[in-house]
Structure 1
Amino acid sequence: MTGGSGRAVGGEVRVSDRHGERPGRPVRVEGGLTLRSKRGDIARTWWSRRFVEVLESFGMGGRLARGRAYARTGQVMSLSLSTSLVVALVTGSRPEPYRARIGVRKFDDDDWLRIEHALADRAVFAAKLLAGEMPPEIEDVFDGLGLALFPRSTRELSMDCTCPDWEVPCKHLAATCYLLAESFDTDPFEILAWRGRSRQDLLDRLRELRDPVPPADEPHEDATPRSEDDPAVFWRRPEAPAVPEPEEPLARRPDAILDQLDPLTVAGRSVTDELRPLYRRIATPWPGT
């Protein structure tokens, strides 16, 4: 914007239009995002309420209420969440929407390594997260590691909007906060994704920590037999069939050659059986030799 002035808010710079937003009703938006709740409280789950309580504890309660109507009438055109940043486009009394951003510090890889080990130590955490629930004790896990799942001060949270309103949060940011809280209601993993770990990455890591893959030469105790269609079985070197030991060493049986002949019977008598005494007699050493 031209002719604007800058202001730092929570580590971010907000630009104010000197002309200000035109007074009057906001421009009506078709197909905007709306809250499920049409009156009363917005957050339904404890973790979503906790997020709103945190914002209100920063002295934002009265200012958040200004954006409730915006959130319920669909003024928020889009909302996207990525690592450490939420961005929304919110329409006010001007045709061009404002861009509202809410940022939070993400945990680094070392922090997440400690978090994942702590969560993997208790199966209930992974089970409840998979069921779409955030266990209340999870805050204690973060606290025990010297971390906080939710921001503890305004210094850990940054907000900025391209609107000319100097107050933070403005109604555009407030509407974004409410839509964000409701998205946390639907999927608690979004809180963790905001802090730097996606749903799939976190669950994969928890599975690895709770059920490590055994070495190749040590089969897993609970491993189920694999079908012949399994690629791992297909590429495995087949085991050679066991060769039964002969009842008697071949070198000691001069009639062993007869075992390789097809059965031959003449006048009801086995020619092979008749020849066996002859073969054995021939192999018997003569006296004195």
Structure 2
Amino acid sequence: MTLTPPGNGINTSLGDEGLGQQPWWVEQWMELINSYRFKKRLERAWAYAREGHVTSIRFEGRRVHARVQGTGEDPYKVKLWLDVLSDEDWGYVLEALTQKARWSAQLLAGIMPADIERAFAASGRSLFPFKLQEVRSECSCPDKANPCKHISAVYFLMGERFSEDPFVLFQLRGRTRAKLLEDLAEHRRQALEALAESSEANQNEGQGADDSPATLAPPHPAVLDPTLWWRYDAALDGDLVVITPAMDGDTGLDAAGELPLAEEPRFPEAKQHFLTHLREQGQTLAQQAMLAAMAAGG
């Protein structure tokens, strides 16, 4: 697990597993806690995080719940959360995300766009907290200072979770990964429908009273030659091309669901053999395709 110890800006890891480079969004999160003026308290919190005193961290909706073992017998209970965005604010964010396909592509690949705050600027809000005081927190320990060393230890470890899944930041702002992608798909569908209606209206207006076949636009070449459906000869915007393996090990077979095979009633074991072979072949071809794409892009 890669973490940044307080005050020195050097990347290190728990358990002496070696050095590592953190994603930029994790570094920005860590900068907040490293700005805390009580450095001795941060050093103790770092030791707590490194030595395993944080016994559990779980994300429940918009809040983070953790238990941190202090000097007492029972661990202390810690809560962390951010102010959530209203549905109206999220509407502005989703509209901005819809207008820039690169943001959607990078998020789907598990990458936080470097300029993501521009999408949130439309709502007058932000994804990342600007100062440490914007991170709400509670701890059951008797220390009246906030953040205490228990809260700060959890704060350090949250960076690991953000590194694994940047959608956690969106969840803390009020939208889970599933909900965000569902809403984004709906906004894109509405935008495409509006674009199609606008194009049709403009076409009808340009035709005027004469809508004879001679004045209609010719069909797309792919309508006349279906083999063109599988070709795309135009240059691609590099920002829109994201090479990534399937998330969570999913394959096309997983997305397709049950595949009824003709011989299944007679040979029940044949289906499993066939699907296993097909899945292995798909994984092999996917690896070859990624290596070829990376070689071409380099």
TM-score, scaled relative to structure 1:
0.57
Give the aligned CA root-mean-square deviation in angstroms: 3.1
Q: Check if 1:109 corresponds to 2:92.
A: no
Contact 1:88/1:99 (<8 A) preserved:
yes
Q: The residue matched to 1:89 in structure 2 has which SS?
A: strand
Q: Check if 1:149 corresponds to 2:127.
A: yes
Q: The residue matched to 1:71 in structure 2 has which SS?
A: helix
The whole-number CA distance in structure 2 between the counterparts of 1:199 and 1:62 is 37
Cα distance, 1:168 vs structure 2: 2.2
State the match for 1:45 in structure 2. Answer: 23
Q: Check if 1:87 corresponds to 2:40.
A: no
State the match for 2:274 in structure 1. Answer: none
More moved, 35-44 vs 122-131? 35-44
State the match for 1:190 in structure 2. Answer: 168
Contact 2:32/2:132 (<8 A) preserved:
no
Structure 1 unaligned regions, length at least 5: 1-34, 225-289
- Correspondence 1:242-261 to 2 at 5 A: none
Which 4+ residue blocks in structure 1 deviate beyond 6 angstroms? 40-43
Cα distance, 1:61 vs structure 2: 5.2
Cα distance, 1:97 vs structure 2: 0.7
The one-letter amino acid of 2:173's match is: R
Identical-pair percentage? 36
Q: The residue matched to 1:88 in structure 2 has which SS?
A: strand
Number of residue pairs matched? 186
Cα distance, 1:94 vs structure 2: 1.6
- Correspondence 1:50-69 to 2 at 5 A: 50-59=28-37, 62-69=40-47
| Structure 1 residues 120-174: Cα deviation after superposition (integer angstroms, max 9, x where no partner) | 1111111111111101100222234311111223542222211122332222111
Structure whose CA Rg is larger: 1
Structure (1 or 2) with the greater strand fraction: 1
TM-score, scaled relative to structure 2:
0.55
Q: Check if 1:178 corresponds to 2:156.
A: yes
The whole-number CA distance in structure 2 between the counterparts of 1:195 and 1:205 is 15
State the match for 1:210 in structure 2. Answer: 188
Change (3 A) 1:174 1:105: same
- Correspondence 1:157-176 to 2 at 5 A: 157-176=135-154
Change (3 A) 1:64 1:42: farther
Change (3 A) 1:167 1:155: closer
The one-letter amino acid of 2:71's match is: S
Cα distance, 1:65 vs structure 2: 2.7
Q: The residue matched to 1:86 in structure 2 has which SS?
A: strand
Contact 2:92/2:122 (<8 A) preserved:
no
State the match for 1:129 in structure 2. Answer: 107
